[in-house]
Amino acid sequence: MKGIGAVLIDIDGVLTVSWKALPGAVAAMERLRAAGLPLVLVTNTTSRTRAAVAGRLAEEGFPVGADDILTAPAATAAYLRAHHPHARCRLINSGEVRADLAGVTLVGEADGDEGREAPEVIVFGGAGEDFSYPALNSAFRQLQRGARLVAMHRNLYWRTADGLDLDTGAFLAGLERAAGVEATVTGKPAEAFFATALAHVGAPAAGALMVGDDIESDVLAAQRCGITGVLVKTGKYLPETHRAADGTPDHVLDSFAELPGLLGLG
């Protein structure tokens, strides 16, 4: 493959599952590093900060640091600072990412029901125990009062060590329908997220490749931005989802371990 000068890499389901390195993934990344290829890890992970993600990946042997990682929470903070400066934001998220939300005013549920302290923006992170009926119902009521809805992603499920787990997109779809609103998505598949990643590696879309296990949010979304899309058959990959997708990946690999070969790096 010619003309690829930078690589965008999804983490969960591509490099790791449940934060354990997939077979051959560390060696493949070392090969990309040895070739001097600029790379950036682009993740919708909402359970950990950039620093924590980098630390965990380094423990698994991946040659990466926090500066190599763009997360949906960091992209969300940038969006909120630009489009809703100083707004009171209510975060519904399972995981600790507040360190990546610098400059965002977070208010608690107790502040939210009425009066001046009501949140102006409801921010959906990743699903988990925090997506309770009381939390979702409170968000629904705040949306009816005019709050805006921002979501770090609308992924439907992700792969864990013991199976697929239901994710934010499933809850978001119901809430949007009930409240009659549409969320602004700030992580993948948002075009702005890919644009930030391209700027990070200093490459034009035509010279970049994105590898992911989510055919919609990673691969086809990147291709719509002009980036070469590579789908891997690890993580959340399901043959039926692949067949039913709206488009065709530029390349399909059994795993990330095959990426150096695709790039002609042996």
Residues in contact with Mg ion by CB under 5 A are 10, 12-13, 213
Alpha helices in 180-265 (DSSP H): 191-201, 221-224, 239-244, 259-262
* Residue nearer to Mg ion on the CB measure, 100 or 213: 213
Q: If you search the block for the tokens 């929470």, which residue do you land on?
A: 73
Helix (H) or strand (E) holding 31: helix 25-34
Residue nearest to Mg ion (CB): 13
Q: How far is the CB of 118 from Mg ion (least distance, A)?
A: 35
Report CA torsion sign: 201, 206, 210, 215: positive
As a whole number of angstroms, the distance between CA 78 and CA 75 comes to 5
Q: Which residue bears the tokens 């790096």? A: 265
What's the min distance (Å) between Cβ of 231 and Mg ion? 11
Instruction: Give 10 or 258: the residue with its C-beta nearer to Mg ion.
Output: 10
Q: How far is the CB of 213 from Mg ion (least distance, A)?
A: 4
- What is d(CA 147, CA 143) in angstroms, rounded to the nearest whole number? 5
Smaller CB distance to Mg ion: residue 10 or 167? 10
Q: Which is closer to Mg ion, CB of 80 or CB of 210?
A: 210
Which CB sits closer to Mg ion, 72 or 147? 72
Give the H or E element holding residue 163: strand 163-166
| Listed residue (155, 175, 173, 154) closest to 164, CA to CA | 155
Nearer to Mg ion, 13 or 112 (CB): 13
Q: Which DSSP string do the residues of 55-106 spell out, in sequence order?
A: HHHHHTT----GGGEEEHHHHHHHHHHHHSTT-EEEEE-SS--GGG-TT-EE
Question: To the nearest whole angstrom, how small is the minimum distance from the Cβ of residue 43 to Mg ion?
Answer: 7
- Minimum gap (Å) between residue 12 Cβ and Mg ion: 4
Q: Smallest distance from the beta carbon of 54 to Mg ion, in angstroms?
A: 17
